[in-house]
């Protein structure tokens, strides 16, 4: 059970209600009125709780589980212990996620502007917004409905966002246009100047950064990540992107829809990622490249050339993963020979 | 045109005024009174706007550009389309940067201390400073003229800074002495304890960190970067250094003048960089090293030994770049042979 | 001498008092009443100041030092210059650290809640706490004695901490249970959602993150580091861990006691580190691994498999360090041969 100091549980829900919400079929002998109190992992679940099986590694835990109900794929339903109420779904983890959202909805505790927040008079807040203590909202900012601006967050002048956005504590958003359902995690810094200067004979000269950050709907940007605004063109984060913690996105970068950038990765200026690109942890991608749709970059790689759509790249310098691992294996063999 | 929600344009300026400001010669047939309204890239520029050509890759865009005026190098002036007003300068990108600064000056919107800022009574603020909502300035801090302490920034006790410094939202500066024209980007943390502890038989013992951070004039430190104060000696950032986002500078590090540290690079304790060293993205440099003047470290390298002045180093472990690439090529050939 | 704008010195102390405090023996001819005014490095120390010798590289500096007193190991005592007052201890750096703590104690300047702080009425603060300007403490938070919540820090609802904790400026702590003597550095973000989503045919679905961050006693977490809360289980940081700046600790990670994570390293979800594991700078460790007690991972490595207790691993992919360096050496030789 989640710690009640931090999480407020909703429910209970009847099993039939959960099944309908996630679009699952009910297994044989399921009681549609079975009352579900909470979610729980297979190994700690109790009667009255719902769990899920998504990975064959956990089939034994599934067989032994005391969970009162479980979301499971059609091929695994026959392995259930006797008396378990099954919800059958092709994507059981997705189903579990939706059920967990029902039990632990991300509600705004108490809408309104905290007396210790500062909202410029020209800012416009939609219905149901919260502005927490210490948060600052600049002139002419426009927030949609139910946005949650958390403690000590800073929203710059003129920033606009759609509905249901969350800006975490100590995060900053300036020079940016956000869609709906955008979550900016604590400490993330969005919209500052990119790393732009002209190198002259008498030193560096700052180049004014005149673009913006455009963030489409349903994007998450992790804690302490940084997204610089464009230098002239905009920096663009496509719909549904998931950016982890401590990630750097430089000026003029464009991410297509559904890209995933794992922690501590970085994308240099003006590089363009297609849709559904996956970038592993601590990857670096240099500037002015094109990374094709659906490409995957394995963790710690350093990408210095364009990556074609669908390709998996690895290594420093990055290359097709198979080539990379062939080189690693060849070097291993060579070292072993050297020992003889 | 830059989004007027975020950027306030100055001007217009007569062409002669711009030429004088950047020290350019005017091309043949230029109208000194030609009125310039804005800056713009070559491909989107219109009559009344000024652009620049700095890279031969864009000569075709230059030939086709509708820009009313353009900053260009002496060798490219003859490629201009008919009727374009030219400003001729050896470093056209530098000239453009200066003109863009004229159109989009970084002014402080409204000097003064916001009613929601907190400034300790013993702090001294120079003329024209702004302290934004939620910013906190500690006891005995001393700020020069026209410093801009942005929302929720924290300036620790005793910190001093020169004129025209900008401390971004949610940034912290403690135990530090800053020159003039220093820009600390949002979320950067300057002056905290270094990673200093003695390892004893009964655990770690914290070693008080008794140094400072000294930042010389005209330095920029990027978003969410961290600069630890010295352990006894100081941590020093030389004049004109440019530090990108998410960079780590450990205690006692010294950077000479004009060093460039690209995003997510890190310099370990007590390492000394000379002047004009360039450190690529995600580079790591171990502690107690000397990196000579003008050295270049390519992205993702791991430097474990001193680097001589002027050298280019690459790889993990870092070595002269030519050697590194020779090794990479040899491993590639070996893997190909293995396939046969 | 430390800059008095930033550091308040205590003392002076009689040498006998210092010797007793660190458990050192006094050398031959020591004056127990010798009055020590400050700490200082060997090369700049003056009469009336105490230094230390911990590294044979500095024996010459020791011989030449003008320090009035010095903490030194038993084997080096005979190299002292004439008239230097010696404190003899097996772990001289530990002894020095403790003495430096006596001269520069980390006291809370002025306990109490600043008028510009916001503390929810249901929060409970122990005796002697400070809550600085702009700090925000949520509902039902519980702080032990002498906790120092610095400017613009944010403590979430329900967070509990023991005694003598320090939460730095612009840091955030939510969904967390902290022991005593925990130091969270500026800008660190603790307790946010992990990177958890289910990948379905119609996009990503957020998986509620229902665990906490448990931080045991005497832990330090560096500036702008990020520690995500657990997804269901907790994220756990063991007693005495030292985490440097810009480090990522993902959801469900467990660190044993006394682990050291150097700057810009990252540990992916559900990986378990034993006790006293040392992780070098910019290391990446993938998810769901076990790293044994006392293992060492050298800087910049990428660990993709379990590491046995006591082992030293290096390289990408990480392997026993000896194997790694053998491969590096073999590739070097190959490249040299290629030149011939």
Partner-chain contact C264 B264, CB within 8 Å: yes
Confidence of residue C148 (pLDDT cuts 50, 70, 90): very high
If you measure CA to CA, which chain B residue comes closest to C338?
Answer: B330
Q: Which CATH superfamily is domain C171-322 in?
A: Hexapeptide repeat proteins (2.160.10.10)
pLDDT of residue C107: 77
- The active-site residue, picked from A175, A216, A251, A324, is A251
Average pLDDT over residues C212-228: 98
Give CB contacts under 8 A, 24+ apart, made by C9-12: C9/C38, C9/C103, C9/C104, C10/C102, C10/C103, C10/C104, C10/C105, C11/C36, C11/C37, C11/C38, C11/C102, C11/C103, C12/C36, C12/C37, C12/C48
Over residues C102-121, the mean pLDDT reads 92
Q: Find the CB nearest A210 among B7, B98, B316.
A: B7
Per-residue pLDDT reduced to its tens digit, A67-100: 999 999 999 999 999 999 999 999 999 999 999 9
Residue A23, pLDDT > 50, answer yes
pLDDT of A295 over the 60 cut: yes
The helix/strand count (H/E) of chain B reads as: 4, 40
Q: Which of A177-186, C112-121, C198-207 has the lowest mean pLDDT?
A: C198-207
Computed on alpha carbons and rounded to an integer, the radius of gyration of chain C in Å comes to 24
Give the bridge partners for C304, in sequence order.
none
Both tokens of A61, joined, read 């835990």
The answer on pLDDT for C50 being more than 90 is: yes
Question: Are C243 and C219 in contact, with CB atoms under 8 Å apart?
Answer: yes
Name the neighbours of A, counting chains with at least 3 Cβ pairs within 8 A: B, C
Segment B110-115 mean pLDDT: 94
The lowest-confidence range among A83-87, A217-221, C103-107, C190-194 is C103-107
Diameter of chain B by CA atoms? 81
Rounded CA gap, B307 and A328, in Å?
27
- Host H or E run for residue C190: strand C189-190
- Exposed/middle/buried for residue B287 (C-beta within 10 Å: 0-12, 13-18, 19+): middle
pLDDT at B258 exceeding the cut of 60: yes
From A101's Cα to the closest Cα of chain C, the distance in A is 6
Residue among C152, C198, C210 whose CB faces A94 most closely: C198
pLDDT digits (tens, 9 = 90+) for C303-324: 999 999 999 999 999 999 999 9
Question: Which two structure tokens, joined as six digits, stand for B281?
Answer: 């993205």
Option in C138, C154, C200 nearest A152 (CB)? C154
Judged by DSSP in three states, B84 sits in coil
What is the rounded CA–CA span in Å between residue B55 and residue B64? 15
Contact A96 C207 (CB under 8 A): yes
| Interhelix angle C321-339/B321-339, nearest 10 degrees | 90
Is C330–A334 a contact, with Cβ atoms under 8 angstroms apart?
A: yes
Q: Which residue has the tokens 């230390």?
A: C52
pLDDT of amino acid B339: 58
Structure tokens at C84: 């230097």
Candidates B133, B113, B132, B134; CA nearest to B124 is: B113
C-alpha distance across the termini of chain B, in Å: 58
- pLDDT, tens digit (0-9, with 9 covering 90-100), for B156-199: 999 999 999 999 999 999 999 999 999 999 999 999 999 999 99
SS (H, E, C) A161-220: ECCCCEECCCCEECCEEECCCCEECCCCEECCCCCCEEEECCEEEECCCCCCEEECCCCE
Residues 6+ apart with CB under 8 A from C233: A41, C211, C252
Q: Are B75 and B53 in contact (CB under 8 A)?
A: no
Arithmetic mean of pLDDT over chain B: 96
Tokens representing C282? 């910019």
Tell me the percentage of chain B whose pLDDT exceeds 70.
99
Residue where the block lists tokens 């400073």: B129
Contact list in A for residue B185 (CB cut-off 8 A) is 189, 192-193
Q: What is the pLDDT of residues A116-148, one digit of tens each?
A: 999 999 999 999 999 999 999 999 999 999 999
Of all residues in chain B, the percent with pLDDT exceeding 90 is 93
Gap between the Cα atoms of B268 and C106, Å rounded: 25
Q: pLDDT tens digits, residue range A204-260?
A: 999 999 999 999 999 999 999 999 999 989 999 999 999 999 999 999 999 999 999
Interface test with B, best of A116, A187, A210, A249 (most B CBs within 10 A): A210
Residues of C in contact with A91 (CB under 8 A): 198, 200-201
The pairing of beta strand C176-178 with beta strand C160-161: parallel
Beta-sheet strand order (sheet of C118-119): C118-119, C136-137, C154-155, C172-173, C189-190, C226-227, C248-249, C266-267, C284-285, C302-303
The pair of three-digit structure tokens given for residue B329, joined into one six-digit string: 């090529």
* Residue A18 near residue A36 (C-beta atoms within 8 A): yes
- Mean pLDDT, rounded, for C52-79: 95
Spatial distance between the Cα atoms of C130 and C149, rounded to a whole number of angstroms: 6
Q: CB-hemisphere CA count at 13 Å for B238?
A: 17
Residue C179, pLDDT above cutoff 80:
yes
User: C20 CB contacts (<8 Å, ≥6 apart)?
Assistant: none
**Residue B258: Cβ within 10 Å count:** 22
pLDDT the model gives residue B202: 83
Q: What is the mean pLDDT of chain C?
A: 96
Q: In terms of DSSP H, where are the helices of chain A?
A: 15-22, 59-64, 92-103, 321-339
CA distances from B20 to A72, B25, B111 (A): 74, 8, 30
Q: Smallest Cα–Cα separation from B211: which of C259, C1, A114?
A: C1
Q: Cα(B159)–Cα(B150) distance, rounded to whole angstroms?
A: 16
Task: Tell me the mean pLDDT in the region B19-36.
Answer: 95
Domain B13-103 has CATH 3.40.1390.10: yes
> How large is the average pLDDT for residues C234-254?
98
pLDDT band of residue C340 (cuts 50, 70, 90) is: very low
The answer to whether A288 is a known catalytic residue is: no
Q: Which helix (H) or strand (E) holds B273?
A: strand B272-273
Angle at A58 between CA A56 and CA A59, to 5 degrees: 70
CA atoms within 13 A on the CB side of C69: 33
Residue C144: its pLDDT value, please? 98
Quote the pLDDT of residue A121.
98
Length of chain A: 340
Q: A73: closest CA among B74, A289, A58?
A: A58
Instruction: Give the CA-trace dihedral at C155, C157, C158, C164, to 10 degrees.
Output: 10
Residue with tokens 């590194």: B324
C27 in Cβ contact with C80 (< 8 Å): yes
Rounded to whole angstroms, the Cα distance separating B155 from B171 reads: 8
List chain A domain ranges.
Answer: 13-103, 171-322
pLDDT (average), residues B137-145: 98
Residue from B170, B200, B210, B321 whose CB has the most chain C CBs within 10 Å, to mutate? B210
Shortest Cα distance, chain C CAs vs residue A212, angstroms:
24
**Scanning every residue of chain B, which has its alpha carbon at the shortest distance from the alpha carbon of C327?**
B331
pLDDT tier, B106 (very low <50, low <70, confident <90, very high otherwise)? confident
Backbone angles phi and psi of A127, in degrees to 5: -60, 140
Cβ within 8 Å, pair C334-B329:
no
Question: From its phi and psi, is residue B57 left (phi > 0), alpha (psi between -120 and 50) or beta?
Answer: alpha
Distance between CA atoms of residues C144 and C163, nearest Å:
4
Q: How far apart are CA C131 and CA C145, in angstroms?
A: 12
| Structure token digits, residue A5 | 């100091």
* Mean of all residue pLDDT scores within chain A: 96
**How far is Cα B276 from Cα B28, in angstroms, rounded to an integer?**
38
Q: Are B80 and B27 in contact (CB under 8 A)?
A: yes
Contact A169, A151 (CB under 8 A): yes
Nearest to C172 among A2, A186, A332 (CB): A186
Quick one: how far is CA B280 from the chain centroid? Answer: 13
Q: Which residues of chain A lie closer than 8 angstroms to B298, CB-CB?
A: none
The rounded distance, in Å, linking the Cα atoms of C220 and C164 is 12
Task: Please enumerate in sequence order all residues whose Cβ is within 8 A of that of B217, keeping only pairs 6 or more positions apart, or say none.
Answer: B162, B179, B180, B181, B182, B239, B240
């Amino acid at each position: 059970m989640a710690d009640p100091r931090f999480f407020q549980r909703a429910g209970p829900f009847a099993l039939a209600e959960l099944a309908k919400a996630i679009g699952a079929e009910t297994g044989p002998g399921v009681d549609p009125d079975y009352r579900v109190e909470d979610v729980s992992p297979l190994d700690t679940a109790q009667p009255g709780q719902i769990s899920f099986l998504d990975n064959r590694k956990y089939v034994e835990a599934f067989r032994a589980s005391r969970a009162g109900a479980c979301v499971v794929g059609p091929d695994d339903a026959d392995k259930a212990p006797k008396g378990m109420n099954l919800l059958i779904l092709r994507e059981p983890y997705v189903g579990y996620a939706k059920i967990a959202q029902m039990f632990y909805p991300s509600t705004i505790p108490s809408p309104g502007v905290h007396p210790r927040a500062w909202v410029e008079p020209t800012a416009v807040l939609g219905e149901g917004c919260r502005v927490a203590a210490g948060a600052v909202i600049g002139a002419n900012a426009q927030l949609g409905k139910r946005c949650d601006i958390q403690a000590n967050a800073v929203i710059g002048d003129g920033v606009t966002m759609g509905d249901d956005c969350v800006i975490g504590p100590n995060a900053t958003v300036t020079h940016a246009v956000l869609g709906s359902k955008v979550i900016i995690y604590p400490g993330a810094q969005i919209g500052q100047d990119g790393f732009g200067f002209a190198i002259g004979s008498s030193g560096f000269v700052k180049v004014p950064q005149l673009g913006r950050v455009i963030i489409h709907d349903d994007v998450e940007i992790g804690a302490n990540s940084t997204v610089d605004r464009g230098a002239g063109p905009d920096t663009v984060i496509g719909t549904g992107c998931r950016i982890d913690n401590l990630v750097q996105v430089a000026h003029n970068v464009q991410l297509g829809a559904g890209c995933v950038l794992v922690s501590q990765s970085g994308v240099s200026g003006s590089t363009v990622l297609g849709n559904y690109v996956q970038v592993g942890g601590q990857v670096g991608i240099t500037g002015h490249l094109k990374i094709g749709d659906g490409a995957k970059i394995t963790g710690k790689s350093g990408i210095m050339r364009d990556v074609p759509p669908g390709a998996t790249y690895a290594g420093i310098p990055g290359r097709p993963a198979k080539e990379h691992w062939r080189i690693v294996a060849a070097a291993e063999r060579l070292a072993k020979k050297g020992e003889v």
